[in-house]
Chain A
Amino acid sequence: MTEEPRHLRYGRPMSEWIKLVANELPIDAVGLWQIVPGGRRGFGLEGDALTDYVRRCIAELLSRGAVPVVGGGETGYYWIAQTQYGSQPDEIVENVVREWLANGATDEDPGGLWFALPRMCETRWK
């Protein structure tokens, strides 16, 4: 039996780490720019292993009720839901991962996709 990968710095098993990543949802959105470097640097992943990690993180976030969003910028909203990725979790995961791979599987930055609880999309800051 193959042992589950552990975080290179904190020693946590990957499945546990993925849950910890999603635990941030009640206070802030979680961005692809956090997820991807987390897999790359935190677990030393690349290629299919990194893609699988990204897929699992997104699935966990969606299972907690999160939706894909981008920052609201000057619109007055904190977050704007991105419904073009679909409505079912599997569909959203595949579409997000396909787009990320098509864009070169980069580390992303905070101008890209995040995942937030729907209530966060209803809140205005101005």
Chain B
Amino acid sequence: MSAARARALVREVQRHDPNWRPTPSLYEGVEGEILANESAAVQATARLRELSRAEPVRGPMEEILMPNGQHVGMRYRNTDGRTRTVTLSEFNNLLEALAPGSQIVQSPVGYRGFWYRRPDGSIFGVRRSEAHGITIDVIRYDHLDIPNGYKVHQQ
């Protein structure tokens, strides 16, 4: 998630300043990688401020999870349609779309991941799942097509 947010921010800066790059960080291990991503995100946010640009926030969840009115990815076999599977690259793109402007919020003890609140108040979770590595859960979003319990798995 930290990588997705950093990528989205760096891409936004480069839309306005194509030659800009964050100063690379040396890191070791998962914790170090997260810190490096945070560093890139902070640098990109600062550069956006210098350019008088705001962090880009995408529209509501249905625009991200149902582009052109179609659910992302594929329905898993004979499930109810609210469980989608997408490729790794599609999954990363979804995280990059959901991440900007999101704040981490308290998640329940048993949840193996983190919850994030988007600027519109909707909440999604990113958790480690047994069969698919990482899964996006829609935790709070009162929409008929994207209800609570909507899941996106990596293929």
Q: Which of B127, B149, B153 contacts A33 (CB 8 A)?
A: B149
CB atoms of A37 and B139 under 8 A apart: no
- Cα of A67 to Cα of B133 in the assembled complex, Å: 22
Known: A9-B145, A37-B149, A42-B147. A111 touches B111 (CB 8 A): yes
Task: Tell me if B18 counts as interface (CB < 8 A to partner A).
Answer: no
CB distance from A58 to the nearest CB of B (A): 15
Instruction: Kindly list chain A residues whose C-beta atoms are within 8 Å of the C-beta of B78.
Output: 19-20, 23
Known: A20-B80, A21-B80, A33-B148. A28 touches B132 (CB 8 A): yes
CB atoms of A111 and B79 under 8 A apart: no
Task: Tell me if A102 counts as interface (CB < 8 A to partner B).
Answer: no
The interface size of chain B toward A, counting residues with CB under 8 Å, comes to: 32
Total of A-B residue pairs, C-beta within 8 Å:
95
CB atoms of B112 and A41 under 8 A apart: no
Stretch from B8-16, B36-44, B45-53, B102-110 that touches the partner: B102-110
CB atoms of A120 and B130 under 8 A apart: yes
- Size category of the A interface is 35 or more
- Cα of A80 to Cα of B110 in the assembled complex, Å: 9
- Cα of A35 to Cα of B145 in the assembled complex, Å: 15
Instruction: Kindly list chain B residues whose C-beta atoms are within 8 Å of the C-beta of A73.
Output: 109-112
Task: Tell me if B25 counts as interface (CB < 8 A to partner A).
Answer: no
- Cα of A91 to Cα of B127 in the assembled complex, Å: 31
Instruction: Kindly list chain B residues whose C-beta atoms are within 8 Å of the C-beta of A41.
Output: 142, 144, 147
- Cα of A37 to Cα of B109 in the assembled complex, Å: 22
- Cα of A43 to Cα of B112 in the assembled complex, Å: 30
CB atoms of B107 and A111 under 8 A apart: yes
CB atoms of A20 and B79 under 8 A apart: yes
Task: Tell me if A17 counts as interface (CB < 8 A to partner B).
Answer: yes
User: Hey, which bits of chain B sit against chain A, CB under 8 A?
Assistant: 76-83, 107-112, 125, 127-132, 135, 137, 139, 142, 144-145, 147-149, 151, 153
